[in-house]
Amino acid sequence: MGSPRSDLGERTGPRAGDELSPSTVAAVKVVVVGGFGVGKTTLVGAVSEIRPLTTEETMTQASVGVDDIAGVEGKTRTTVAMDFGRISLNDELVLYLFGTPGQERFWFLWKGLFEGALGAVVLIDTRRLEVSFDVLGRLEDRGVPFIVAVNCFPDAPPHPLEAIREALDLEPSVPIVECDARSRASSRDTLLVLMRYLYDLTAATQER
């Protein structure tokens, strides 16, 4: 299992790409999901090495009574299709990131966004855990491997990760980590946790 680099240049240990493709460049599709306003666009934009493609639009009166903005009343823009970015974890592993819309009325787009995806990061806001329940349920129904990343908003009260696991009714094997979606390093480390988890799942399947 490869260990993460301290940045995108210097390596501090074996390479993460060694797990997936020892001799060729591996391109992996990863989806970033979560409820409305949890920071998906922010994470993709923070970690992407290219200028991210976003489909944010200004929220209008048409969303009143349709989108639940409780807890994010100051939000003025929303993703209506997807976010897209790319990050090279090393010379052998490139992740293509697709951020999904958070509002339920746009969930019909999920089918296309998840096509060919290896796994997902579920971003959550502990101030509004309820917006994550349906997202997690849909991933479980689809059989998509995922990890949970707790986006550390400045005004969010701290909670032990195991307490959050219990509140979300997560299986013990599902990784849960803290993340600052504004930080490139923190977002990159979150993606590395997902890749390690996917590698462990693959290795366990091969041993059966």
69 burial via Cβ count (<10 Å: 0-12, 13-18, 19+) = middle
End-to-end CA distance of the chain: 19
pLDDT score for 7: 37
Question: Which two three-digit tokens encode residue 23?
Answer: 């001799």
CA distances from 94 to 4, 115, 174 (A): 14, 17, 23
pLDDT score for 102: 57
| Tens digit of each residue's pLDDT (9 = 90 or more) over 134-154 | 889 988 988 999 999 999 999
With cut-offs at 50, 70 and 90, classify the pLDDT of residue 60: very low
22 burial via Cβ count (<10 Å: 0-12, 13-18, 19+) = exposed
Q: Which residues pair with 182 in a beta bridge?
A: none
Q: Which residues pair with 29 in a beta bridge?
A: 96
CATH class of 16-207: alpha beta
With cut-offs at 50, 70 and 90, classify the pLDDT of residue 63: very low
The whole model's pTM is what? Answer: 0.74
Question: Which two three-digit tokens encode residue 39?
Answer: 């920071």
| Tens digit of each residue's pLDDT (9 = 90 or more) over 40-52 | 999 999 999 998 8
Across the chain, what does the average pLDDT equal?
79
Ranges of each domain in the chain:
16-207
- What does the alpha-carbon distance between residue 33 and residue 38 come to, in Å, rounded to a whole number? 9
* Helix, strand or coil, per DSSP, at residue 114: helix
